[in-house]
């Protein structure tokens, strides 16, 4: 059976003679590739879509591979390339190209010559292609360099004090290989111990700092599964279909075979590893480098325009061809934005701080001071006695000194990051001078969002008074809008620079051109104003009476490139905190001081009439605890009956000692009223009506579908699609997704679409915050709105209803009546889920399994 499609083009007799000669050489490559026990076996670096393969015969014959190795001596003429570390053999790269060669021919890529002014190793994403069967130099310059042996890395899951940091894990003349980072990820994915995770990350980052500092930044982004700061608009923008096609193209598997792998594992990285495990390449590829992989990810993210998917797939294919062993698994997991390792941002920052304490960056121009409180010398590290596994405490004074330095460094790095969340700037700062003086080199900056302070939930006013011990506080409306951090600064000779960031640091300046115009008018009215950072809530308002409108009215606005002329619903910026003003940082000041400055320096701007496209500026509506509890209770009732979500309770002044009760113990601790970035502080308490009562009744809903869980929910169905019963149509109608019920995954896995649940159809009792209008739900469509159905906000699993059949579940009419009832009580909020009650990890699998067995 022919393995290649016959050519339909006309070929001259001379070319035929030459091709026949070339084919004789190619036959040497494939001389053992015919049938083996009746099965066809193919050797290929990147199987063409036109190459016929049997799903059960993806293993390359060892005789073929051995014969390829033996050809190195015969093909002795080869080129070389020069980098900064000497002459190296020419690692010919198989290039898949954007489209497979119609002749089924292999494509090769030649690395840069020795006179290349960049003097760098070949980039796996750069290509110079030539069709191998038609090359004139068939036996010239096609040497197959021997495959470099895999590096046997030292264990990284050890105490950093005993890790052999004096030895570079990879050849010292080479850049940091991607396999070193994969070695780290492999260890991380197999441990849940926080101590082990920190040790692994610390040892890894130390090696990069000492032996290849330029790989430190790419490694931090790859470890954190990101490409750039959160406020950057850069996104990888690669879908599961592109990755699947790339895996199929490189491995030669059919769609059916690949689907079976997905069904058995459910993880794209595991699928890619299994699919490529039996593939052999004709030539050895240079090892992937950490910098190369990161740069390839950036190339994928920057590709725009026509043919985007094809170009991205081509880059992914080249990376997969060059990847070896476990590199394939984690490469695809990185592309899928799901590394599945227990290294969260806090762990990475902690490890970076410890690595910098033990191994300051080598910078002869800026020596580390001998009395540094944040760094140690190599001699000091050697003299420390590491703790044994059985010891709970180490009485070595030097060890305790090291722990103190660790604590100081960790606090410093985290403080810098939450105020300036940009790895690029932080790495540049530590490379320039270590940890000493880092806050000065990487300060809080207008235009770069800081992580916001978060509030802790409270269930009642009684709990609030008990927790704050009658200390002075203020109660503010918790508006049903979008939290916005507004950065603005005066620009010489131009309009003031304005940036608006969400709670999750996403840049949403283009979404609010009306707010940008409002801020610029504030600069025009206050000539002395230079720069500021304000925390606020953007809320939709009624243009007729200025009343508050729901979050859903705000969410209908486009996410970017909004034109003022297209704005239908005006907004008001309700400011509630001031973090920076005219070059001065106010994070360490009490809330009472910050609020006073905000109110005096930024007066309200509320015109008598509000036109669409016009934004207003106001201060949050508030009530002081000094006015008495009855006044606070009346203010709470006003918030509940309005379109607000509830109240924010904020401590006004710093408290030196406040009594707290935890686990039956009473202790005193300080409670600052400062602005605490990225902390869920007890000085801010949120009392939401969702927490206090929620719906007056529960709903009986039917689980009808589910998505396969990712990360820590792998192996479970989560979220679960729930439905109500529509008696007019005599069938179930989907109403919402519930994240809090987890069913053990025993059914066929569907990667992106929900899988219909047939054998587990039961009725669940569900409680939620309120009923909302939904642009996608069809439940009760036409009963309260002609264009929108109803959905349930914050659905939470209560129990399985043993006594109820699916046709007796809650009806669409009941759902509509609940919506009307809550509207009459003033509970018509449709705010965005802020995650507090979204995922409570209520596990119902035991009940489900018991019922299935019965």
**Cα–Cα separations (whole angstroms), residue 397 to 164, 202, 357, 501:** 23, 22, 17, 46
Please, what's the largest Cα pairwise distance for the chain? 102
Cis peptide before 578 (omega within 30 of 0): no
414 counts as catalytic? no
Q: How far apart are CA 497 and CA 531, in angstroms?
A: 9
CA nearest 355: which of 321, 381, 319?
A: 381
CA nearest 815: which of 764, 768, 757, 763?
A: 768
Give the strand order in the sheet containing 129-131. 93-94, 107-109, 129-131
**What's the chain's Rg over C-alpha atoms?**
32
Q: Find where tokens 């679409």 sit.
A: 753
- Both tokens assigned to 824: 């009459």
The CA dihedral of 521, 527, 533, 535, to the nearest 10 degrees, is -50
Long-range pairs for 384-392: beta carbons < 8 A, 24 or more residues apart: 384/161, 386/159, 386/161, 386/162, 387/159
**CA terminus-to-terminus distance, the chain:** 54
Point out which residues pair with 685 in neighbouring strands.
Answer: 456, 649
Whether residue 60 contacts residue 147, with contact meaning beta carbons closer than 8 Å, is answered with: no
Q: Interior CA angle at 812 toward 807 and 815, to 5°?
A: 120
Q: How far apart are CA 781 and CA 44, in angstroms?
A: 56
> By three-state DSSP, how is residue 735 classified?
strand
Sequence-distant (≥ 6) Cβ neighbours of residue 663 within 8 angstroms: none
- Both tokens assigned to 301: 């993210």
Please identify which of the residues 478, 688, 762, 827 carries the catalytic annotation: 478
CA nearest 317: which of 290, 296, 347?
A: 296
Q: How far apart are CA 414 and CA 642, in angstroms?
A: 39
Between helix 194-211 and helix 216-223 the angle, nearest 10°, is: 150
Q: How far apart are CA 736 and CA 722, in angstroms?
A: 6
Q: Interior CA angle at 10 toward 9 and 15, to 5°?
A: 110
**Cα–Cα separations (whole angstroms), residue 755 to 216, 708, 751, 777:** 42, 8, 9, 18
Whether residue 224 contacts residue 345, with contact meaning beta carbons closer than 8 Å, is answered with: yes
Q: Interior CA angle at 513 toward 509 and 642, to 5°?
A: 90
Q: Find where tokens 């209770």 sit.
A: 633
Sequence-distant (≥ 6) Cβ neighbours of residue 626 within 8 angstroms: 472
Sequence-distant (≥ 6) Cβ neighbours of residue 480 within 8 angstroms: 539, 548, 550, 551, 643, 644, 645, 829, 830, 831
Cis peptide before 719 (omega within 30 of 0): yes
**Neighbour tally for 608: CB within 10 Å:** 5
Residue ranges of alpha helices (H) inside 336-422 are 345-358, 378-383, 397-419
- Both tokens assigned to 128: 């110079």
Whether residue 655 contacts residue 670, with contact meaning beta carbons closer than 8 Å, is answered with: yes
Q: Find where tokens 């000493």 sit.
A: 436
CA nearest 304: which of 248, 235, 403?
A: 235
Q: How far apart are CA 335 and CA 242, in angstroms?
A: 10
Q: Which residues are catalytic?
A: 478
């Amino acid at each position: 059976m022919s393995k290649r499609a016959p050519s339909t083009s006309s070929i001259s007799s001379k070319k035929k003679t030459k091709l026949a000669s070339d084919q004789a050489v190619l036959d040497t490559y494939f001389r053992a590739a015919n049938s083996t026990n009746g099965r066809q076996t193919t050797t290929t670096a990147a199987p063409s879509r036109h190459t016929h393969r049997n799903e059960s015969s993806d293993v390359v014959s060892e005789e073929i591979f051995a014969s390829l190795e033996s050809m190195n001596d015969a093909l002795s003429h080869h080129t070389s390339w020069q980098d900064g570390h000497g002459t190296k053999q020419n690692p010919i790269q198989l290039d898949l190209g954007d489209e497979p060669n119609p002749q089924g021919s292999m494509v090769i890529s030649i690395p840069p010559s020795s006179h290349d002014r960049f003097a760098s190793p070949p980039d796996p994403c750069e290509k110079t292609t030539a069709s191998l069967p038609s090359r004139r130099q068939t036996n010239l310059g096609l040497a197959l360099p021997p495959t470099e042996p895999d590096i046997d890395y030292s264990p990284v899951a050890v105490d950093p004090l005993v890790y052999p940091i004096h030895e570079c894990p990879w050849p010292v003349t080479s850049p940091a290989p991607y396999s070193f980072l994969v070695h780290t990820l492999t260890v991380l994915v197999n441990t849940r111990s926080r101590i082990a995770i920190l040790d692994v990350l610390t040892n890894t980052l130390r090696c990069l700092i000492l032996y290849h500092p330029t790989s430190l930044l790419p490694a931090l982004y790859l470890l954190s599964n990101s490409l750039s700061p959160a406020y950057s608009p850069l996104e990888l923008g690669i879908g599961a279909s592109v990755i699947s096609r790339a895996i199929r193209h490189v491995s030669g598997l059919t769609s059916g075979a690949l689907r079976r792998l997905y069904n058995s594992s459910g993880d794209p990285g595991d699928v890619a590893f299994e699919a490529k495990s039996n593939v052999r390449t004709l030539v050895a590829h240079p090892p992937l480098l950490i910098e190369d992989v990161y740069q390839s990810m950036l190339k994928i993210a920057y590709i725009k325009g026509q043919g985007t998917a094809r170009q991205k797939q081509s880059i992914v294919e080249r990376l997969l061809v060059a990847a070896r062993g476990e590199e394939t698994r984690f490469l695809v997991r990185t592309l899928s934005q799901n590394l599945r390792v227990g290294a969260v941002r806090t762990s990475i920052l902690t490890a970076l701080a410890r690595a910098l304490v033990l191994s300051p960056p080598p910078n002869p121009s800026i020596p580390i001071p001998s009395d540094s409180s944040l760094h140690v010398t190599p001699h000091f590290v050697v003299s420390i006695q590491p703790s044994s596994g059985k010891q709970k405490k180490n009485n070595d004074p030097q060890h305790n000194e090291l722990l103190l330095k660790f604590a100081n460094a960790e606090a410093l790095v985290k403080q810098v990051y939450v105020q300036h969340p940009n790895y690029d700037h932080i790495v540049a700062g530590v490379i320039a001078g270590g940890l000493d003086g880092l806050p000065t080199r990487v300060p809080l900056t207008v235009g770069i969002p800081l992580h916001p302070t978060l509030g802790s939930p409270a269930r009642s006013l009684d709990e609030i008074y008990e927790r704050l011990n009658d200390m002075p506080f203020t109660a503010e409306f918790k508006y049903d809008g979008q939290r916005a951090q507004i950065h603005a600064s005066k620009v010489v000779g131009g309009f003031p620079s304005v940036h608006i960031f969400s709670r999750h640091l996403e840049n949403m300046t283009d979404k609010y051109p009306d707010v940008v115009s409002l801020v610029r008018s504030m600069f025009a009215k206050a000539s002395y104003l230079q720069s500021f950072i304000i925390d606020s809530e953007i809320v939709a308002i009624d243009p007729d009476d200025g009343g508050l409108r729901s979050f859903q009215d705000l969410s209908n606005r486009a996410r970017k490139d909004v034109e003022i002329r297209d704005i239908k619903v005006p907004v008001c910026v309700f400011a509630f905190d001031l973090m920076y003003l005219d070059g001065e940082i106010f994070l360490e000041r009490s809330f009472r001081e910050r609020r006073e400055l905000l109110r005096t320096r930024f007066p309200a701007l509320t015109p008598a009439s509000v036109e669409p496209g016009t934004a207003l500026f106001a201060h949050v509506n508030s009530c002081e605890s000094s006015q008495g509890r009855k006044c606070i209770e009346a203010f709470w009732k006003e918030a509940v009956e309005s379109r607000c979500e509830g109240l924010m309770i904020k401590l006004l002044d710093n408290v030196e000692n406040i009594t707290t009760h935890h686990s039956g113990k009473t202790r005193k601790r300080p409670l600052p009223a400062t602005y605490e970035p990225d902390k869920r502080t007890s000085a801010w308490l949120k009392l939401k009506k969702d927490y206090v009562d929620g719906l007056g009744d529960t709903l009986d809903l039917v689980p009808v579908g589910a998505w396969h869980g990712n990360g820590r929910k792998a192996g479970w169905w989560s979220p679960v699609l729930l439905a109500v019963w529509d008696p007019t149509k005599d069938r179930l109608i989907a109403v919402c997704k519930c994240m809090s019920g987890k069913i053990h995954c025993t059914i066929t896995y569907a990667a992106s679409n929900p899988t219909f649940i047939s054998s587990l159809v039961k009725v669940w009792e569900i409680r939620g915050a309120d009923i909302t209008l939904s642009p996608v739900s069809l439940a009760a469509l036409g009963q309260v709105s002609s264009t929108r159905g109803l959905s349930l906000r914050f659905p939470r699993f209560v129990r399985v209803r043993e006594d109820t059949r699916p046709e007796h579940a809650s009806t669409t009419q009941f759902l509509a009546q609940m919506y009307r009832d809550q509207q009459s009580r003033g509970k018509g909020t449709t705010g965005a889920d802020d995650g507090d009650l979204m995922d409570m990890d209520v596990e119902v699998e035991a009940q489900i399994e018991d019922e299935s067995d019965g």
